[in-house]
Amino acid sequence: MRVSVLHDAPPVGARPDQDDNLVQAREVALALEAGGHQAALCAWEGSPRRSLERLAGQGPDAVFNLVEEPLGRAARIHTAPVWLAHQGLAFCGAGGRAMLLTSHKLLAKRALDKAGLPTPAWRTTQGAGQGECREPWLIKAVWEHGSLGIDDDSLVPADRPLRLTQALAAKEAQVGGPCFAEAYIEGREFNLALLAGPGGVRLLPPAEIVFEGYDAGQLKVVGYRAKWEANSFEYHHTPRRFEFPPEDRALLARLQDLAHACWGLFGLRGWARVDFRVDRQGQPWILEVNANPCLAADAGFAAAALRAGLDQAAVVAAILADRHQPPQGRV
pTM of this prediction? 0.92
Higher pLDDT, 328 or 178: 178
Q: Element (H or E) spanning 140, and its range?
A: strand 137-141
CA atoms within 13 A on the CB side of 130: 13
Question: Residue 315 above 70 pLDDT?
Answer: yes
pLDDT at res. 329: 42
pLDDT at res. 328: 57
pLDDT at res. 138: 92
d(C-alpha 227, C-alpha 29), whole Å = 23
d(C-alpha 228, C-alpha 225), whole Å = 5
d(C-alpha 86, C-alpha 13), whole Å = 33
Tens of pLDDT, residue by residue over 181-228, are 999 999 999 999 999 988 899 999 999 999 999 888 778 888 888 888
The three-state secondary structure class of 162 is helix
Tens of pLDDT, residue by residue over 77-130, are 999 999 999 999 999 999 999 999 999 999 999 999 999 999 999 998 888 888
216 Cα distance to chain centroid: 28
Q: Residues 6 or more apart from 281 whose CB is under 8 A from it?
A: none
Give the lowest-confidence range in 1-15, 297-311, 315-329. Answer: 315-329
The three-state secondary structure class of 57 is helix
The three-state secondary structure class of 92 is strand
pLDDT at res. 319: 97
d(C-alpha 272, C-alpha 290), whole Å = 6
